[in-house]
Amino acid sequence: MTAPTRTSRELPVGLPSRRPTVLQGVGELLLTVGVLLLLLCVYEVYGTNLVTEREQRQLGRDLSESWAAAPGGPGRPVAREPPLGRAFARLYLPRLDGTRPLVVVQGVSVADLKKGPGHLPGSALPGELGNLVLSGHRTTYGAPFSELDRLRDGDAVVVETRDSWFTYRVEAQQVVLPTAVEVTYPVPGRAGAAPTRRLLTLTTCNPKYSARERLIVSGQLEDRQPTSAGRPAALGEA
């Protein structure tokens, strides 16, 4: 019996065709896109934290050097805002981070907040009448305000400047829409009103991994003491 001949168009049994199908091409493309998205997510969650940690270390050194070199030396207040993106003050959240400071920069732009929490230009300076507004990321870029929702009424929030320690006490917490800019007014909710209290407002995104709302933590100044008097007792709270 004669074996069947194989035509030029036939392939040996068991060898796959080398012609990729449309479905194979789409599958490979989706796999590639999926890997790239995964790498992007890993960078956003972890890689950006490393970037901000490096920025915070450098900003901390810059802040110490600028305070030491300021006219009049330590103890003489300098009531002016630094340039945008520059170190502004140190922020302590004893309940959340113990005595680990966060270096606050001047400005709340995307670039500014990649370095750490930022001071809203035009809002009150630490200890001044009005509303000291500080904003920060809740996820990525160091997530300085990641656990801001854990703050409770009466908790201390301490701000350090070159010459003074300012201890604020949390009074309220609320969730608002991103358009609710009235929470940043000198008198929150009252445009044009003259301030009579020394307030603090911390703002961050809400919920985590979303920007559809803003978490607002509000407080009022309780105490001011010169840096020459040592660290405030509030830093020992938890």
Question: Which residues are tagged catalytic?
Answer: 137, 205, 214
141 with 49: CB under 8 angstroms? Answer: yes
Query: How far is residue 185's CA from residue 196's CA, in Å, rounded to a whole number?
Result: 12
* Tokens linked to 218: 């509000």
49 with 139: CB under 8 angstroms? Answer: no
Half-sphere exposure of 186 (CA within 13 A, CB side): 14
* Tokens linked to 169: 């006490």
What per-residue string of b and e applies to 112-125 under the rule 16 or more CB within 10 Å gives b?
bbbbbbbbbeebbb
Nearest to 95 by CA among 136, 151, 167, 143: 151
Per the DSSP assignment, residues forming a β-bridge with 119 are 106, 134
181 with 123: CB under 8 angstroms? Answer: no
